Chain A
Amino acid sequence: MYHYDDFDAQLVRERVAQFRDQVARRLDGSLTEEEFKPLRLMNGLYLQLHAYMLRVAIPYGTLNSRQMRQLAMISERWDRGYGHFTTRQNIQFNWPRLADVPDMLDALAEVEMHAIQSSGNCIRNVTSDPFAGVAADEIEDPRITAELLRQWSTLHPEFTFLGRKFKIAVSAARQDRAAIRVHDIGLEVRRDAAGNPGYRVLVGGGQGRTPMIAKELRAFLPRADLLAYLEAVLRVYNLMGRRDNKFKARIKILVHELGIERFGEMVESEFEALDRSEEVPVAAEFARIARHFAPPDYPPAEDEPEALDRALAAHSDFADWVARNGFAHREPGYLAVTVSLKPIGGAPGDVTAEQMRVLAEAAERFSLGELRVTHEQNIVLPHVRKSDLFALWHLLRGHGLDTANRGLITDIIACPGLDYCALATARSIPVAQAISERFADPARQREIGSLSIKISGCINACGHHHVGAIGILGLDRAGVESYQITLGGDPANEASLGERTGPGFPFEQVPEVVEQIVDTYLALRMPGEGFLQTYRRVGMTPFREALYAGAA
């Protein structure tokens, strides 16, 4: 993984000192609250319902054991002993004191981490595929591009006071595991006919109150042009994007209002006119970063260790866990394993300091020191030797980290909602907990198969409900929580937005409603069909009938 050179380290240190100074200047009145707000947001510091919240950037979701241990330390020393992994592959601490934040940032800098641009109207933490470097269907490691963009976007002089936040995601595999079609810019690594590396560029996707699927801006952009081209896109957006209405300020609205052709022409003419005399050879910087992502030296491993076979045969819950949470590794003898942060009845994505240390230890002993955070709010141990799986499972099991539900109905994505978030209109975590308990039976979950439930506590859609197979959006209807259900959302290659079933349901009814949807699906599915396939075949009608039959 990437390690800071002196330039990186110095910049992060200086940014912490600068923020310390900004906090002091807020306290002595040099900065008004209005002026301080974007400065603290650009350092990941929100004012929430009950307290400040610090969102720490985990660039493209990759971290090592040492960093995970430091997160545990930070959560104990300055917070309440836990953290929350988010749908943006970051971690949030929910209870820091303003005066402590500079020290927390210093502690992060010690392990090459920061909170830069994890919020605010700037280019946010770049996200990517949690199975980067592992998946067999990948052209190259997408994190090389993501790291290049992390640096390029960090404290960008021109794009730090944009009209609205700006999110970039990178995928380099056939299967899109980074949801690039619902980002402001989605990049897909490609090669042209001659084998030269470059990108397919998508623009204007997003969730929030006006969800949109991104459109293609360039079918192929040579790698050498990447930074200049993004500069052109961002400049057009910065100058032309709406500033009169916060809810119309994302690039998706600009692209929608201008049309992709017109927007594309403006980008191309900006791009043509750029002064590129000072440009670095992107290839050279790319190659430098790529060295950090060279495949690790995999210790030799047996592809079908006998001991594993015996353990699988002897322990059915271990076998279930391997079958469900394992992900094929391109290195023979290895497997990537998802550690579910969705125990039955738990708060999705929450981990205690003790669990963070266990994860750090697990990575150190069994995954070449590396971990990934997924946008599904789970952790991936990317490089586990098959012969170590049983020992790993034992370690995790002792700490409630062995739930075998990756991709199943209890692997629910949920935003913080009314429990923490100042913008929330309804609870979100308790809904997830209630559904999870309803479907607790592992056999039932396996029978249902892969099915994603995504829950947001307001229309901002941080819980990605638009792209959940079942999406749940909590609203406030005259002081009462009401949950709107959507079906058929998909963040991947066949990206689609969920369709509303009809009027919303009260909090207590949501698990029952999900049950009815599931029963309808089970009754209609053909052999081997997943929920989305069935839904696409039969449409909304049978589900609507099941849900509202008694209501008419």
Chain B
Amino acid sequence: MPVLRDASGVIADSWIRVDHAGEIADGMKVILPWSEDFAPPAGLPSFMLGLHLPNDIETAKVAPHLARLGLISVDFPSFADGRGFSLGRRLRNLGFRGRLRACGPVIADQFAYLLACGYDEVETPESLDRRQPQPQWERALRAISRGYQPGYAGGRSVMQLRHQYGMEP
């Protein structure tokens, strides 16, 4: 089973991945795969609807649906393919407020970057977890206390802290 975690630790996955809307049963929180003709299934409230996106998606295509989605899962085909970092940022920039999940063999050393780019949680394959168990993810999160980049650290970036008093009106 894949492992799901967020900043608080390993968490249970309340979402179920289905291949198409026909598989949705009552009371299920589902993650549908992206398709060109995707439309949010009628009657499904946004907090029960998730969407899995490839990392080369044209964001303009998914933008109209963002308000109807409770979760977006972004595919990371390999840890070295960093498109998902920018895609996460762009989705947040477009106003997506739901849960953002990175899905794929990303490594513990990328955890902090993912959170900084707007992700809430990470779903990794089980095989990876045997090599990189939870303590490594916690350590990775604490490794660097503060990055420089404004806008990626919830107001606590080095550049912001240096000037926080200067910024007050």
Q: Determine, out of B33-41, B65-73, B140-148, the stretch whose residues face the partner at the interface.
A: B140-148
**Smallest distance from the beta carbon of A286 to chain B beta carbons, Å?**
11
Determine whether B20 belongs to the interface, using a CB cutoff of 8 Å to chain A: no
Q: Is the CB of B89 within 8 A of A158?
A: yes
Q: Is the CB of B112 within 8 A of A157?
A: yes
Given known pairs A157-B116, A284-B163, A288-B162, the reply for A235 and B86 (CB within 8 Å) is yes
Determine whether A486 belongs to the interface, using a CB cutoff of 8 Å to chain B: no
**Smallest distance from the beta carbon of B18 to chain A beta carbons, Å?**
28
Q: Is the CB of B145 within 8 A of A10?
A: yes
Given known pairs A25-B136, A30-B132, the reply for A157 and B85 (CB within 8 Å) is yes
B residues near A162, Cβ cutoff 8 Å: 82
Q: Is the CB of B144 within 8 A of A11?
A: yes
B residues near A7, Cβ cutoff 8 Å: 146, 148, 158, 161-162
Q: How far is the CA of A526 from the CA of B143 in the complex (A)?
A: 63
Tell me which residues from 238 to 292 in chain A have a Cβ below 8 Å from any Cβ of chain B: 238-239, 243, 273-281, 284-285, 288
B residues near A5, Cβ cutoff 8 Å: 162
**Smallest distance from the beta carbon of B98 to chain A beta carbons, Å?**
17
Determine whether B167 belongs to the interface, using a CB cutoff of 8 Å to chain A: yes
B residues near A14, Cβ cutoff 8 Å: 143-145
Determine whether B8 belongs to the interface, using a CB cutoff of 8 Å to chain A: no
A residues near B116, Cβ cutoff 8 Å: 157-158
Q: How far is the CA of A159 from the CA of B85 in the complex (A)?
A: 8
Determine whether A161 belongs to the interface, using a CB cutoff of 8 Å to chain B: yes
Q: Determine, out of B21-29, B44-52, B149-157, the stretch whose residues face the partner at the interface.
A: B149-157
Given known pairs A14-B143, A21-B143, the reply for A243 and B81 (CB within 8 Å) is yes
Tell me which residues from 201 to 248 in chain A have a Cβ below 8 Å from any Cβ of chain B: 227, 235, 238-239, 243
A residues near B12, Cβ cutoff 8 Å: none
Q: Determine, out of A31-39, A129-137, A394-402, A540-548, the stretch whose residues face the partner at the interface.
A: A31-39
The prevalent SS among residues of B at the interface is: helix
Given known pairs A30-B131, A160-B113, the reply for A152 and B148 (CB within 8 Å) is yes
Q: Is the CB of A156 within 8 A of B146?
A: no
Given known pairs A152-B148, A157-B112, the reply for A281 and B167 (CB within 8 Å) is yes
Determine whether A533 belongs to the interface, using a CB cutoff of 8 Å to chain B: no
Determine whether A18 belongs to the interface, using a CB cutoff of 8 Å to chain B: yes
Most buried by A among B85, B117, B149: B149
Say which residue of B87, B109, B113, B161 sits within 8 Å of A39 (CB atoms).
B109
Say which residue of B110, B152, B162 sits within 8 Å of A285 (CB atoms).
B162
Q: How far is the CA of A117 from the CA of B87 in the complex (A)?
A: 23
Q: How far is the CA of A161 from the CA of B80 in the complex (A)?
A: 6
Interface footprint category on A = 35 or more
Determine whether A111 belongs to the interface, using a CB cutoff of 8 Å to chain B: no
Determine whether B160 belongs to the interface, using a CB cutoff of 8 Å to chain A: yes
B residues near A32, Cβ cutoff 8 Å: 131
A residues near B86, Cβ cutoff 8 Å: 158, 235, 238-239
Q: Which residue of B lies closest to A32 (CB)?
A: B131
Q: Which residue of B lies closest to A273 (CB)?
A: B93
Give A138-161 as 1s and 0s: 1 = Cβ < 8 Å from B's Cβ atoms: 000000000000011011111111
Determine whether B107 belongs to the interface, using a CB cutoff of 8 Å to chain A: yes
Q: How far is the CA of A161 from the CA of B89 in the complex (A)?
A: 14
Q: Is the CB of B144 within 8 A of A157?
A: no
Q: How far is the CA of A261 from the CA of B85 in the complex (A)?
A: 26
Q: Is the CB of A156 within 8 A of B149?
A: yes
**Smallest distance from the beta carbon of A486 to chain B beta carbons, Å?**
34
Tell me which residues from 59 to 109 in chain B have a Cβ below 8 Å from any Cβ of chain A: 79-83, 85-87, 89-90, 92-94, 107, 109
Known: A273-B94, A280-B160. 6 other contacts (CB 8 A): A154-B147, A156-B147, A157-B117, A238-B85, A243-B83, A278-B151
Q: List 21 A-B contacts (CB under 8 A).
A: A15-B144, A18-B109, A35-B109, A39-B109, A151-B158, A152-B149, A158-B86, A158-B89, A158-B113, A158-B116, A159-B82, A161-B81, A162-B82, A163-B82, A238-B83, A238-B86, A275-B93, A277-B151, A280-B167, A281-B163, A285-B159
Q: Would you list the 10 A-B pairs with minimal beta carbon distance, nearest first?
A: A161-B82, A157-B116, A157-B113, A18-B143, A278-B151, A238-B86, A7-B158, A280-B159, A151-B148, A158-B85
Chain A residues at the B interface, C-beta cutoff of 8 Å = 5, 7-8, 10-11, 14-15, 17-18, 21-22, 25, 29-32, 35, 38-39, 121, 151-152, 154-163, 227, 235, 238-239, 243, 273-281, 284-285, 288
Chain B residues at the A interface, C-beta cutoff of 8 Å = 56, 79-83, 85-87, 89-90, 92-94, 107, 109-110, 112-114, 116-117, 131-132, 136, 139, 143-152, 155, 157-163, 166-167
